[in-house]
Amino acid sequence: MNEDALTIGADSGMVLPDTQVQELIRTLVRGQRAFQMYLPNNPIYHKAVDSVHAAFRPIWAATDELVLQVAETDFVWEGMTVYQEISKSESIAWQLYKDGMRVLTLKDGVQDGEIVQFLQTVNQVKLLPADAADDLRTVLWEQDYQFLTYRFTDLLEGLESLEPTGDGTPSSPPEALQEEVRQDVQETEPAAPRPGVVDLEEFDSTPYFLDESEIDFVRQEVDREYNRDMRTSAFNALFDVFEQQDDRAVREEIVGILDTLFPNMLNAGEFKACAAVLRETRALAERAGDGFRERLAVFDAQLSQPSVVSQLLQSLDEAATPPREQDVEEILQELQPRALETLFVWLPKFNSGPLRRLVSDVAGQIAERHPGEVVRLLQESNNEGLPSAIALSGRLKLEPAIPGLAAALNHEEGDIRFAAVEALGAVGSPSAMGKLEPALGDPDRTVRMAAVRLVGERGFKGALPRIEQVVFRRRHKSMDFNEKRAFFEAYGAIAGAAAVKPLGTMLRARGIFRRKRSSEVRMCAALGLGKVGSPEAREILQRVSADRDRQVKNAVAAALRVAKS
């Protein structure tokens, strides 16, 4: 049996999933909101009544009684939380809990009118002033419920609770309590308080007797209420109407309202509200029928159009008073993957450093979720955002981007090829290092230097054949000293012990009748031995440490320092 479903009734054998109870509670919450906002002659009001009635059908198909435990912000059924709302001002559970209700029992038949009357009563109590004499308990006692019962806590925990009967009236108190009440009424003088019973007269009626934590809670709730965004509540009402109303004209009107308001809010910098609208319309599109799924999906895609993204980023960069970074990040997180190209194009253009970092972080998060889009951009050689895409791939070490980075090594611009080499080195995987080999023969010196430095640092043996061609076939003749040095050092670092003999031969001075090697070659050979760093390599360097060529002597000294470190 599914763990999310409980057997209800020994005879019926039916099961009631907790998800069905959750859906019922959500319907009741939406109904409570509709009953508060609309009059009984409004079609939306009647639609909410029908939805509440329909939500009970699967419940009564499995059981004839639903017992809900009322926690501070939760409803608990059969030990499982089926409703939770952290915001107490929006929680129906808190509205019942704060007035003392702890158990709410619904029976088959409550859907025919009593549940609507109950929700209206809760709304009525919610609007009572703080100093009102009535509360939820007293107002409910005036009702005559047949299919709805409840239980409140008593101030005196030692006494039996006054539990309502099936008709909603409180049960009779115990006989001992009745006798005590009669004695108290007959006495002319007030009786002395019983030991252990709290006398409320002893407490100050001002709020200053509250604990510090209670004062902080009151202050936070007041601040939250004053800072609450009314637009969110208004949009929630629109979305509720869209879900509850099947009439096409009504839904068309709501979509039209969103189409009108969204660009205005975007232009006004209300990014947090815009992000909330996008998330909700995306959810509505999944549940809407075929007639509105495409409409809502197109609405969600409008923000990611290149022209809209460019206008948004430009306004953010030129704003005299920039909006909060949290709000900007929230709206950018709603962009679709196709917006990455526009973000990459704008990254080097920003005048604002904080905005550049923020957009770069958001682009990285989108790229990690959708690496295929990054690969597509890397393979477009005429893409204006290609440098930013390459840099981001290296920073995030995106393995899926390696083929695109390898393709960028064939770009006509040397700066692009250099950036691709740096990115492949940052990824650093064997696959990425293997793509660097062609860059060792790149026509641009800067690209060659970057590639040979990276393969040398990583000791990538796959690059050894191409490096040996430069070292032993004298392809370094046209290179300057720094580039020769880079290839010889990379050879020593990669070849290791196998490089000692050939580099030692190059380092030793030739005899009178043999052609001498240039000082640059001998210096590079010494530095290559320094990268090997083995005892044999240090011994060869020691032999020529007093060489008559001053440049070679200095190179040997530097190599010995590297070999010892």
Q: Report the mean per-residue pLDDT for the chain.
A: 81
DSSP β-bridge partners for residue 107: 65
Cα gap 338→380, rounded to integer Å: 14
Neighbours of 31 (CB within 10 A): 25
Alpha carbon distance, N-terminus to C-terminus of the chain: 67
Q: What per-residue confidence (pLDDT) applies to 55?
A: 92
What's phi and psi for 268, nearest 5 deg?
-85, 0
Q: Of 133-142, 384-393, 468-477, which range is least confident?
A: 468-477
Q: Of 199-213, 400-414, 467-481, which range is least confident?
A: 199-213
Write the single-letter amino acid at 173.
P
Contact 522, 488 (CB under 8 A): no
Residue 154 in this model has a pLDDT that exceeds 70? no
Cα gap 277→530, rounded to integer Å: 64
Q: Of 29-38, 69-78, 265-274, which range is least confident?
A: 265-274
Q: What per-residue confidence (pLDDT) applies to 273?
A: 79
Q: Which CATH class is domain 370-458?
A: mainly alpha
pLDDT digits (tens, 9 = 90+) for 353-375: 888 899 989 888 888 888 888 88
pLDDT digits (tens, 9 = 90+) for 265-324: 777 777 887 888 888 877 777 777 666 777 777 766 777 888 888 888 888 888 878 788
Q: What percent of the chain has pLDDT over 90?
A: 23
Domains 370-458 and 463-565 share a fold: yes
Q: What per-residue confidence (pLDDT) applies to 290?
A: 62
Q: Two tokens at 412?
A: 């006509």
Banded pLDDT at 191 (limits 50, 70, 90) = low
The CA distances from residue 485 to 405, 437, 519, 531, in Å, are 27, 18, 12, 11
178-199: average pLDDT: 54
DSSP class of residue 347 equals: G
Pick the residue with more confidence: 53 or 230? 53
Three-state SS for 472-520 is HCCCCCCCCHHHHHHHHHHHHHHHHHHHHHHHHHHHCCCCCCCCCCCHH
CATH of 463-565, one of 3.30.200, 2.60.40, 1.10.3470, 1.25.10: 1.25.10
Q: Two tokens at 98?
A: 């704060």
Cα gap 115→31, rounded to integer Å: 10
Write the single-letter amino acid at 442.
D
Q: What per-residue confidence (pLDDT) applies to 240?
A: 84
Residue 227 in this model has a pLDDT that exceeds 80? no
Q: Which residues are within 8 A (CB) of 68 and not within 5 positions of it... i.e. 6 or more apart?
A: 75, 76, 77, 82, 103, 104, 105, 106
pLDDT digits (tens, 9 = 90+) for 508-556: 866 443 456 788 888 999 999 999 989 999 999 998 888 888 998 899 8
Neighbours of 536 (CB within 10 A): 13
93-102: average pLDDT: 90
Q: Two tokens at 372?
A: 């295929």
148-177: average pLDDT: 55
pLDDT digits (tens, 9 = 90+) for 234-277: 778 888 888 787 787 888 888 888 777 777 777 777 788 788 88
Domain ranges of the chain: 5-172, 370-458, 463-565
Collapsing DSSP to helix, strand or coil, 42 comes out as: coil
Cα gap 106→69, rounded to integer Å: 11
pLDDT digits (tens, 9 = 90+) for 451-486: 999 999 988 998 899 898 888 876 667 788 899 899
Instruction: Tell me what percent of the chain is helix, strand and coil, each rounded to the nearest 5.
Output: 65, 5, 30
Residue 492 in this model has a pLDDT that exceeds 50? yes
Q: What per-residue confidence (pLDDT) applies to 284?
A: 78
Q: Which residues are within 8 A (CB) of 181 and not within 5 positions of it... i.e. 6 or more apart?
A: 173
